[in-house]
Amino acid sequence: METEKPNFEQGPIRPPSEAYSLLIRVTRNCTWNKCAFCHIYKGKRFEKRSVHEVKADIQAAKDIADEIKALSWRSGYAGEVTREVVEAIFRQPRQYNEQFRSIALWLYFGGKNVFLQDANSIVLKTSELVEILKFLKNKFPQVERVTSYGRSRTIARRKSVEELKELKEAGLTRLHVGLESGWDFLLQYMNKGVTAAEHIEAGAKVMESGIELSEYVILGLGGRRWWRQHAQQTAKVLNQISPHFIRLRSLKVLPQMPLQRRIDEGEFILQTEEEMIVEERLLIEGLNGINSTFLSDHILNLLMEVEGKLPEEKEKMLKIIDAFLALPPEEKLNFRLGKRAGIYNSMQDMSDPSLHRQVEELMQRLEAEAPGGVEGAISKIKETFL
């Protein structure tokens, strides 16, 4: 009789930068869960998992890792998790479940990064997180980076700098924080449940603790009405925090998001992609006196090549934006479709005649056959990214 395979629980999301990280679920869902621009946890209750549950999951992940390494030895690869070992696991879905596949990929890509799920795991008691982190490092001593989402309000109100230093000493290396905007009006309008002052206080605490800080900004969150204040005030808050990373996201509204009702009623007017790029330029222009790395590491962002170290690469990033804004309207549309369809990776790809022609032909087909033409197709493709 076949013995039951070890198993562990995983949540629905993680940052793109944690694509090849081991996912350990410390909490379920979101402590706030009221943001107008988010749909992920709506209708789900927040739960803290017990230390016992989380440690059991870490042990299950360790048991799976040991079994995969044993398979490597039996297959003649001396315990190394090679491409051949990973492919063998993926070819047998009945024998090796989703958790086995995720651990196999994790080990194949180095097995050094871990992400603690879900949306605000920093809300756990510091002593509980320390116990989890120490157990994790004991089971996987090769791990170098452990990260988690954390709400600014939670960090500002519930964590002292000393507690954050304890977490760093136990192994927490980076916190991902959803700044979204630095403008109090917009934070309230979107029901973010935090103020600009709390963002700054939380950011300062994390920076002082020595934990790496990633702050997320949402392009388009101000819509056509408030885009300028959104960009300017967000830059001001980021200038006061000077986080290690500024990560860009672009607003895409789905029907199940509370913000959709405000759009339907004409209260909130979405920006075009070009208007978001103008906003992005204003945001970058306003970032001064900081040493942050600006990253556009999400597929929803149109110009993912706009990345660089501040302040030295600021002008380089602005030039990329200006190059897009200088394109004729038909070439902007060509790039937007090509990028969304996966034909282009960056604007440089437009100079390849065969790729450009491929996008032109796709445009013609969509205008003739697809509901909503090219713009409708672009919108549908972007929905699949969420």
pTM of this prediction?
A: 0.93
Q: Is the dihedral of CA 359, 361, 363, 369 positive or negative?
A: negative
Q: What is the pLDDT tens value at each position of the chain, 386 positions in all? A: 345 677 899 988 899 889 899 999 999 999 999 999 999 998 899 999 999 999 999 999 999 999 999 999 999 999 999 999 999 999 999 899 999 999 999 999 999 999 999 999 999 999 999 999 999 999 999 999 999 999 999 999 999 999 999 999 999 999 999 999 999 999 999 999 999 999 999 999 999 999 999 999 999 999 999 999 999 999 999 999 999 999 999 999 999 999 999 999 999 999 999 999 999 999 999 999 999 999 999 999 999 999 999 999 999 999 999 999 999 999 999 999 999 999 999 999 999 999 999 999 999 999 888 788 999 999 999 988 87
In which order are the strands placed within the sheet that holds 245-250?
Answer: 22-25, 113-117, 145-149, 174-180, 212-219, 245-250, 293-295, 308-309
Gap between the Cα atoms of 349 and 352, Å rounded: 6
Cβ atoms of residues 249 and 299 within 8 Å: no
